[in-house]
């Protein structure tokens, strides 16, 4: 969808769409967290994940997102692999 918007010259619409989707995702995650875990008890300190755990997880998420967005150069390779699997 984003490639199509950029292709027809509506890159600004694509940018606004991405920003709005990020805001929606953040608010849904925030509300979902409160619904699932409830309010934090008074006096309880939030625990942060260690850096050696957070960096690989975030790196993996970024890599998956980049592959999803930038996979179009691999289109012929992916189609050939799909044809091998189908046969």
The rounded distance, in Å, linking the Cα atoms of 52 and 5 is: 38
Q: Looking at the domain assignment, is residue 67 inside a domain? A: no
- Can you give the pLDDT at residue 31? 87
The rounded distance, in Å, linking the Cα atoms of 57 and 63 is: 10
Q: Looking at the domain assignment, is residue 55 inside a domain? A: no
Structure tokens at 6: 């950029």
Q: What is the total count of domains within the chain?
A: 1
Q: Looking at the domain assignment, is residue 17 inside a domain? A: yes
- Can you give the pLDDT at residue 58? 94
Q: What is the pLDDT along the chain (87 residues), one digit of tens a residue?
A: 778 888 888 888 888 988 999 999 999 998 888 888 887 777 778 778 889 999 999 999 999 888 888 877 778 888 898 899 998
Structure tokens at 4: 């199509």
Range of the domain at 26: 1-38
The rounded distance, in Å, linking the Cα atoms of 64 and 58 is: 10
* This model's pTM is above 0.85: no
């Amino acid at each position: 969808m984003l490639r199509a918007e950029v292709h027809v010259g509506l890159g600004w619409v694509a940018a606004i769409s991405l920003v709005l989707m990020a805001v929606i995702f953040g608010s849904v995650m925030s509300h979902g967290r409160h619904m699932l875990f409830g309010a934090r008890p008074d006096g309880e300190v939030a625990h942060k994940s260690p850096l050696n755990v957070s960096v690989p997880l975030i790196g993996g998420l970024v890599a998956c997102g980049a592959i999803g967005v930038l996979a179009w150069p691999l289109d012929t390779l992916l189609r050939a692999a799909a044809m091998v699997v189908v046969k």
